[in-house]
Amino acid sequence: MYNFDVERPTSIADAVQAMSKEEAQPISGGQTLIPTLKARLAAPSVLVSLTGIEEMKGVCMSDDGRLCIGGGTTHSAVAAEAAAHYPGLASVAARIGDPAVRNRGTIGGSLANNDPSACYPAAALGSGATIVTNSREIAADDYFLGMFTTALEEGEIVTEVKFPIPQASHYEKFIQPASRFPLVAVFVAKFSDGVRVAVTGASNDGVFRWTEAEEALSANFSADAVAGLKAEGDMISDLHGTAEYRAHLVGVMTKRAVAAIA
Ligand SMILES: Cc1cc2nc3c(=O)[nH]c(=O)nc-3n(C[C@H](O)[C@H](O)[C@H](O)COP(=O)(O)OP(=O)(O)OC[C@H]3O[C@@H](n4cnc5c(N)ncnc54)[C@H](O)[C@@H]3O)c2cc1C
């Protein structure tokens, strides 16, 4: 690692101020950033730790019926605290990585990182969530811009995520056993006015909505409705699976998710 300074703000306002320093970068659970620093793939001069900001932690219901999760809330806290309100989302958090990762990693860090195989991006996009930062609110449909790329601007901090709660949802994750990340996973959310389907792990463009499946499932919510569909796009091909295999898995995971809900 290179040398760097560490700032430990205790409020969002102080974190924003610390982030204005040259080459400052936020750190939350460090589950992604620390290995990145160790590999010398990043060299910030100031790390702004968000872990001491209490106003960024916890789960609550908003007046408009959305589930609000602080950006600094760990995966294990989401798994425990969201279960009564949004079990489909709690189940996503409960299956991220292993206990050590879940006890340190945060929803804000995961959404800021936008790993093309991460779980929360699928849950956020599939739920039609809103990503709240220190300066604005961004609809999930406008937030995920590609692999490791988001609408966040320099110095912007994810402070909260607001989730509309569907009638039913399910996250079907085909685990890559070495990393615990999904090889491919699909989040299906059934709302009163339609169905949303978000796919992670499959595309070189990162998480995406499978709109063809959404239309079919909104008309007929059954696994048979997606049986003849094939996900198109620039699929990832690597030593774990070819592009064709991943496209196939998208269909299989979607059918399983729908069957689990039905
Ligand atoms: C062994 C292992 C298995 C894993 N398995 C999975 C899995 O199955 N599914 C999955 O989804 N993930 C998995 N992960 C990743 C894990 O979920 C991380 O917690 C997550 O990717 C990053 O969260 P973090 O809080 O640790 O962020 P950090 O590592 O602290 O930061 C990640 C990035 O986000 C930025 N950042 C952090 N917080 C914020 C914020 N609030 N606002 C703006 N920018 C911010 C940082 O500057 C950095 O660029 C795994 C990780 C490991 C090590």
Each residue's pLDDT tens digit, 134-168: 999 999 999 999 999 999 999 999 999 999 999 99
CA of 110 to the centre of ligand 1 (A): 4
Q: Block means of pLDDT (10 residues each) for the chain, length 262 residues?
A: 91 97 96 95 95 98 97 98 97 97 98 98 98 98 98 97 98 93 97 98 97 98 95 94 97 98 92
- Beta strands 144-146 and 149-150 are antiparallel
Please tell me the predicted confidence (pLDDT) of residue 1. Answer: 62
Ligand 1 pocket test: which of 101, 117, 150 has the largest number of ligand atoms within 8 Å of its C-beta?
101
For 177, phi and psi rounded to 5 degrees? -65, -25
Handedness of CA 33, 39, 42, 47 (dihedral sign): positive
Look at ligand 1, atom 5, and give the residue with the nearest C-alpha: 97
Nearest C-alpha to atom 23 of ligand 1 is from which residue?
109
Query: Roughly what angle, to the nearest 10 degrees, separates helices 87-94 and 120-127?
Result: 170
pLDDT at 262: 87
List residues bridging with 175 in a β-sheet: 182
Which of 16, 19, 27, 144 for mutating ligand 1's site (highest number of atoms within 8 Å of CB)?
A: 27
What pLDDT is stored for residue 204 in this prediction?
A: 97
Q: How far apart are the first and last CA of the chain?
A: 50
pTM above 0.85, yes or no: yes
Q: How far apart are CA 136 and CA 52, in angstroms?
A: 22
Give just the sign of the alpha carbon dihedral 172, 177, 179, 183.
Answer: negative
Q: What is the pLDDT of residue 119?
A: 98
Domains with residue ranges and CATH for the chain: 5-49 (3.30.43.10), 54-163 (3.30.465.10), 168-261 (3.30.390.50)
- Measure the CA–CA gap between 150 and 2, rounded to whole angstroms: 26
pLDDT value, residue 260: 97
Question: From CA 240, how far away is CA 126, in angstroms rounded?
Answer: 25
- Residue 38: helix, strand or coil by DSSP? helix
Binding-site residues, ligand 1, Cβ < 6 A = 25-33, 50, 71, 96-97, 101, 104-106, 108-110, 112-113, 115, 118-120, 157-158, 179-181
Choose one of 31, 111, 150, 152 to mutate for the ligand 1 pocket test, by most ligand atoms within 8 angstroms of C-beta.
31
According to the model, what pLDDT value does residue 2 have? 79
Measured between alpha carbons, how far is 156 from 25 in angstroms, rounded to an integer? 10
